[in-house]
Structure 1
């Protein structure tokens, strides 16, 4: 069931960006169009028709709440993921300013509620996999055209600049990345230089920073991309995602044990989706946002790792996909993303969830 909620309050809150116009004059501060810079009004009717808020999972006793935080410096989407380093959220690459090959790197500081311009990627890309290993930020693969034509380039943020590391053995993008025991796992993703040839893969590669080398591990049971992937208690959870297209989204939830090099199924994601955020917070994995056929999801579903059950929590005020999500302290921060299906519109909206 689709709930048509008015998002004007969220739009108004997102307009308060004091320093934004100084750096990006002439751009809309909340939304931008991928192909036509003259479009300044977000497609509110389409957004309302596509928004989904209702989860099939039982409601948690403590629903939590969402608050508005400082908007991104400019509207962005299809960063694919975000990560936390030194209590700050890093968002890398993505669509923005009518381009899909931007080298963006923005960092959010929760203490000051401000965004910081950080060292740009050596090349622009979208759907870049990110993870922190041994206190360093890694950027893995990415598409250099719109959701297609992946490359195999990988980088690590070394001090104030990015440094190239061993490339992926083969190009792919929209990869789920997670760090375990000082190694970076790159799982699933998509290949294809055209929309007609694009498909999901079940690949599982591991990078060892000590020797700057990639090796292979057991592939995940079903190839998919745009997943929610994260490490919890020494194991890797891969949740949801798409099989070749968001028209065939998956609710699969698999867990990888690096000691046994084996995969096992877990309780499936209540709402099948892709391009969502997945964050470990307060002993649960929270999955929010995502897209499907004529759908943009606001559902915020939490997984109890010990009990193997899902519950629903307060949904996102502004459903989005291709967003950046990361936990800092008592909040899950969700920034940017597309408010309608596909990559046509980007947003700068930044909302944060808390159970306090």
Structure 2
């Protein structure tokens, strides 16, 4: 009995030292720590694109985490290094648009777009205007690019959104989010593109604004504000809900996790992240939301951390 009690005490102590909440769990760390990365679900795996290294250098690296095999895979590097890019997937193809160019090239927002398939990057038509620090999602045959910065000098927030018809490869502008903002979370669910949070013209001003763009009607609808104002966050569709993770504010990174249910038009709070980060790749696969890499502190900080949240059902 004495040994049994000692073993139980050890288990309790280990549980108390764990950095995971009941719903969050740590997974294999990424091969390289980066922040301000783009992310998307590629064939039910977590793709992480570009970003900044610990020295502030833009990266062309692309990594893929396979949850079934619990391991990371290196994909072909981007044709050019990018940070604050936007990524989305469809039919086993990974699309990457915009982002900031390396500081050695002036650091301006880029108008480039590429698609990866058959382990080869191919160029797409250039964006009508440069774009960085926005979000991307795909609905049916269109790639949507929402929010972000269109010019760095002077810093200008994008007034319009863009979509690329993946059949004709034609870009078309359409109304942007209100207020115009960057570092927001963007995802899609059931024919709608959702935009949550972000920063306005003042880098310190985060918003709780949530909007949905009906891709059939071609119109934005204002949703109830999210419980948490944030910028530098991600948003994903998981278990028929929009899950919003991460972000930063002057006081630190944001642990709160919020979820919007389109069927009820209401928000709820999910288990907080034990390792909050900003500028991470936030990816949804089934009922699970993944948060990969990102900065654990405001500003330039990097992490190789990968965490997974199994979205609890009501």
Q: Normalization by structure 2: what TM-score?
A: 0.89
Asked if 1 retains the 8 angstrom alpha-carbon contact of 2:241 and 2:259, the reply is yes
Change (3 A) 1:100 1:121: same
Q: Secondary structure at the match of 1:286?
A: strand
- Aligned counterpart for 1:274 among listed residues 231, 254, 257: 231
- Aligned counterpart for 1:76 among listed residues 31, 34, 49: 34
The residue aligned with 1:347 is 303
Q: Note if 1:173 corresponds to 2:132.
A: yes
| Structure 2 gap segments, 5+ residues each | 1-15
Asked if 2 retains the 8 angstrom alpha-carbon contact of 1:223 and 1:243, the reply is yes
Which digits, 9 at most, give the CA deviation of each residue in 1:4-62, with x for residues without a partner? Answer: xxx9854xx9xxxxxxxxxxxxxxxxxxxxxxxxxxxxxxxxxxxxxxxxxxxxxxxxx
| Structure 1 gap segments, 5+ residues each | 1-6, 14-62
The 1-side partners of 2:287 and 2:220 are apart by 31
1:176-325 to 2 correspondences below 5 Å: 176-194=135-153, 197-325=154-282
Asked if 1 retains the 8 angstrom alpha-carbon contact of 2:158 and 2:176, the reply is no
Change (3 A) 1:187 1:355: closer
The residue aligned with 1:17 is none
Asked if 2 retains the 8 angstrom alpha-carbon contact of 1:134 and 1:182, the reply is no
Asked if 1 retains the 8 angstrom alpha-carbon contact of 2:280 and 2:292, the reply is yes
Aligned residue pairs total: 295
Asked if 2 retains the 8 angstrom alpha-carbon contact of 1:108 and 1:115, the reply is yes
C-alpha deviation, 1:85, in angstroms = 1.4
The 1-side partners of 2:109 and 2:243 are apart by 28
- Report 1 or 2 for greater relative contact order, CA contacts < 8 Å, sequence distance ≥ 6: 1
Q: Secondary structure at the match of 2:131?
A: coil
Change (3 A) 1:246 1:272: farther
C-alpha deviation, 1:307, in angstroms = 0.9
The 1-side partners of 2:125 and 2:265 are apart by 37
Residues 95-104 or 65-74, more deviating: 95-104
C-alpha deviation, 1:245, in angstroms = 4.0
The residue aligned with 2:75 is 118
